[in-house]
Amino acid sequence: MATVSRDDVVSLADAPARPMNMIEAINDALDIMLERDPDVIVMGEDVGYFGGVFRATASLQEKYGKTRVFDTPISENGIIGAAVGMGAYGLRPVPEIQFADYIYPGLDQLISEAARLRYRSAGEFIAPMTVRSPFGGGIFGGQTHSQSPEAIFTHVAGLKTVVPSTPHDAKGLLIAAIEDNDPVIFFEPKRIYNGPFDGYYDKPTKPWKDHPDARVPEGYYSIPLGKARTVREGHAMTVLTYGTMVHVAEAVCREKGVDAEILDLRTLLPLDIEAVENSVEKTGRCLVIHEATRTSGFGAELAAQVQERCFYHLEAPVERVTGFDTPYPHSLEWAYFPGPIRIGEAIDKLLGA
Amino acid sequence: MAKAASSNSNKSRTPAKPTDSEPSAAGAGDFALHSLQDALEKDPRYKASQEELLGFYEQMLLIRRFEERAGQLYGLGLIGGFCHLYIGQEAVAVGLQSGLEEGKDSVITGYRDHGHMLAYGIDPNIIMAELTGRQAGISKGKGGSMHMFSTEHAFYGGHGIVGAQVSLGGGLAFAHKYRDDGGLCLAYFGDGAANQGQVYETFNMASLWQLPIVFVVENNQYAMGTSVKRSSAETEFYRRGAAFRIPGLRVNGMDVLEVHQAGRIAAEHVRSGKGPVLMELSTYRYRGHSMSDPAKYRTREEVQDMREHNDPIERAKAELLEMGVAEDKLKDIDKAIRARVAEAADFAETSPEPEPSELYTDVLVESY
């Protein structure tokens, strides 16, 4: 299936659309792909009868039957391993790992098999699969239900890593991921499943329905992997971020009245380095925000690439706001979470430099 | 039997790794997969004295009231995130752990861990304070409901990743044997976790090395929303050790006296150096898997039927009354427990949250 170009996506604005939250958008994407392609299979813990712990696969088993949408035992290693074999045989499995924190038992299969099959068979065998997994914190999950392990996967040659931040993108990116011929890790920021959480945890989160990016076009469309989205244009600095932190960054910039350009990377690997470069060259300042721990986080890669490519345009050192280098704490969740205060301080520092 | 199990090298005895020992107890002729089950069926219930049964009853009731209160605190927003209640399964932790040598034997479990801590007599205040994420909590509030530990009681947690604790239990048992300390490991996991591959890797190692470990499947019938029959090819979990020459025990986990009896049989087998045992305790959780559970996977009637006809606490209560314990005495116990739990809830509510400086403590041995 040919993917839709960026221009086509824009034209979707005129297509019939309705507001969805992120769960509904993901469910819609799975529904469409199950409908379009008989090779697509949805599998995972509690995804069938139960409809998924976050309801992302609700009613799909009823519609497509137990052969295509089915429950697995709690065996992450086995789930990913089976998906590699399915993909190699020609199917398009979409396994769900219930929480990103549970993905580690499957790492051997993901890294040594899924990511490497193409290379070691010199392209004869591929392992197309989309591993969907809710990730990130903000729901008091403690250390085993809150992690953001994206940098583990961007470090592995042979995998693609996607993180949507809106219902509109979640649907289009998931469809593109399923159609992609490489294994894709599709991390869904669970804190924003039901509303665009802006980091002000002591205030109620607004639901998605009034957000412009909650308007999800009906039917099939895809958003190409490797293309960043400009959330807002600006000249004072470039903010590079993804997932939940897009909304936090946006709220802080709005509150502080900063003329920042915010890029939602959407795909970490392949990375839209061109968009990054163009923006940083324009603004001369760069702030990177992610929720994952700091050391060897994806922000380190971004900072390195920005200085390699934009060094002579930079007015200040690249600044990072991230989670701390600690396990994700239960009770100190909001101290760990890179919230508005820390982002605000980093902005002040960058502008003062 | 191997006499290899020995202490660490810096002690006086000759060190020998458990892996070097011959699995002689599993000699082909001796091996009887059903021997323990036969023993249990011959004498299925522990003959408890009135005092002992009262003790079990009190512990089970404490767990139930504690969990009911935890559910309320969750509803009030005082407990955040995940909270898995043990209501309905009380006889398992109480019946088994009452047969252990506390502090010498090690215990490890999954995320539904409040009951196992209470069964060990750990102060309800610090358990409840952990649930509310306070500094006074047993893990200083940093672990939360699923991640609680007590070195004093050799309670090795509280683990949030399904099944991961089973392999750790294998390591604990290895250490018991290596140190020749006479202890055993009790490793709990659920019917859902029983489908994790690493469980079988551990079965193999434990049997191969004749490790002192009791594997306990708390079969509460549902892996979150997936019933046993929808996830498991062999639904009789006690049989799953057969391929590894591990004898199995099928136990009614809703009867504290049967649980205790089975626990004694298993512990005796393990302590005599004959290697691991796999117990399946058939039980039932009354509440949802966690706090947000649409409960569409089972009927209200099914839950109600279990509560009315198979409740472990009611069963113990009826027996106590039959033994001649005065109803007033049981009422007094209930009252005292309610007061104890209310105190724990107050403590958990009023204790301060951890200092922000706690964020960076306990990450590595060195501070940085």
Taking only the tens place, the pLDDT of each residue in B160-181 is: 989 989 998 999 999 899 989 9
Residue B367: per-residue pLDDT: 52
Are residues A242 and A334 part of one domain? yes
Q: In chain A, which residue's Cα lies nearest the Cα of B133? A: A331
Are residues A200 and A66 part of one domain? yes
End-to-end CA distance of chain A: 48
Q: How far is B38 from chain A (nearest CA, A)?
A: 31
Residue A175 lies in a domain: yes
Are residues A248 and A165 part of one domain? no
Residue A5 lies in a domain: no
Residues A181, A184, A189, A194, CA torsion sign: positive
Residue A11: per-residue pLDDT: 52
User: Is B196's CB within 8 Å of A105's CB?
Assistant: yes
Q: State CA A210 to chain mean position distance.
A: 22
Residue B224 touches partner A, C-beta closer than 8 Å: yes
Are residues A35 and A179 part of one domain? yes
Residue B304: per-residue pLDDT: 95
Residue B27: per-residue pLDDT: 45
B279 close to B248: Cβ distance less than 8 angstroms:
yes
User: Which one of A161, A182, A217 terminates a domain?
Assistant: A217
List the structure tokens of A132.
């969907």
Are residues A281 and A186 part of one domain? no
pLDDT tens, residue order, chain A (353 aa): 334 444 445 456 677 999 999 999 999 999 999 999 999 999 999 999 999 999 999 999 999 999 999 999 899 988 998 899 889 888 999 999 999 999 999 999 999 889 988 887 878 788 899 999 999 999 999 999 999 999 999 999 999 999 999 999 999 999 999 999 999 999 999 999 999 999 999 998 899 999 999 999 999 999 999 999 999 999 999 999 999 999 999 999 999 999 999 999 999 999 999 999 999 999 999 999 999 999 999 999 999 999 999 999 999 999 999 999 999 999 999 999 999 999 999 999 999 97
Inter-chain CB pairs, A–B, below 8 Å:
117
Nearest CB among A71, A75, A332 relative to B354 is that of: A332
Are residues A188 and A139 part of one domain? yes
Are residues A213 and A234 part of one domain? no
User: Which one of A173, A192, A217 terminates a domain?
Assistant: A217
Residue B219 touches partner A, C-beta closer than 8 Å: no
A155 is catalytic: no
Residue A96 touches partner B, C-beta closer than 8 Å: no
Structural domain including A24 reads 19-217
Residue B34: per-residue pLDDT: 84
As a whole number of angstroms, the distance between CA A70 and CA A54 comes to 16
Chain A residues near residue B146 by CB distance under 8 angstroms: 142, 144
User: Which one of A217, A241, A256 terminates a domain?
Assistant: A217
Are residues A180 and A96 part of one domain? yes
Residue A142 lies in a domain: yes
Are residues A85 and A201 part of one domain? yes
CATH number at residue A49: 3.40.50.970
Residue A7 lies in a domain: no
Q: How far is A349 from chain B (nearest CA, A)?
A: 23
What are the structural domains, with CATH classification, of chain B?
36-292+304-356 (3.40.50.970)
Residue B22: per-residue pLDDT: 44
Residue A4: per-residue pLDDT: 42
Are residues A166 and A296 part of one domain? no
Residue A10 lies in a domain: no
If one counts every other C-beta atom within 10 angstroms of the C-beta of residue A236, the result is 17
Residue A4 lies in a domain: no
Are residues A212 and A177 part of one domain? yes
User: Is A50's CB within 8 Å of B226's CB?
Assistant: yes
Number of domains into which chain A is organized? 2
A297-306 long-range Cβ contacts below 8 angstroms, 24+ apart: A297/A151, A297/A322, A297/A323, A298/A150, A298/A151, A298/A154, A298/A268, A299/A240, A301/A151, A301/A154, A302/A240, A302/A276, A305/A271, A305/A273, A305/A276, A306/A240, A306/A276, A306/A277, A306/A280
Residue A12: per-residue pLDDT: 62
As a whole number of angstroms, the distance between CA A17 and CA A26 comes to 15
B248 close to B214: Cβ distance less than 8 angstroms:
no
**Phi then psi dihedrals of residue A99, to 5 deg:** -135, 145
CATH number at residue A305: 3.40.50.920
Chain A residues near residue B162 by CB distance under 8 angstroms: 74, 102
Residue B9: per-residue pLDDT: 33
Interface list for A 160-219 with B (CB within 8 A): none
Residue B182 touches partner A, C-beta closer than 8 Å: no
Annotate B205-225 with DSSP letters as a single string. HHHHTT--EEEEEEE-SEETT
Q: In chain B, which residue's Cα lies nearest the Cα of A337? A: B359
Interface list for A 36-95 with B (CB within 8 A): 45-46, 49-50, 53, 71-78
B233 close to B198: Cβ distance less than 8 angstroms:
no
Residue A65 lies in a domain: yes
Q: Assess: ipTM above 0.90.
A: no
DSSP, collapsed to helix, strand or coil, labels residue A197 as coil
Q: In chain A, which residue's Cα lies nearest the Cα of B77? A: A140
Residue A145 touches partner B, C-beta closer than 8 Å: yes
A349 close to A317: Cβ distance less than 8 angstroms:
no
Residue A236 lies in a domain: yes
pLDDT in tens, B81-122: 999 999 999 999 999 999 999 889 999 999 999 999 999 999
Q: Which residue has the tokens 């002729």?
A: B29
As a whole number of angstroms, the distance between CA B345 and CA B343 comes to 5
A9 exposed, middle or buried (CB, 10 Å; 0-12, 13-18, 19+)? buried
Nearest CB among A73, A104, A335 relative to B195 is that of: A73
pLDDT in tens, A332-352: 999 999 999 999 999 999 999
Sequence-ordered alpha helix ranges (H) in A195-243:
none
Low pLDDT (below 50) residues in chain B: 1-16, 18-30, 368
If one counts every other C-beta atom within 10 angstroms of the C-beta of residue A303, the result is 18
As a whole number of angstroms, the distance between CA B164 and CA B147 comes to 13
Residue B147 touches partner A, C-beta closer than 8 Å: yes
Residue B16: per-residue pLDDT: 42
Are residues A167 and A105 part of one domain? yes
Q: In chain B, which residue's Cα lies nearest the Cα of A143? A: B143
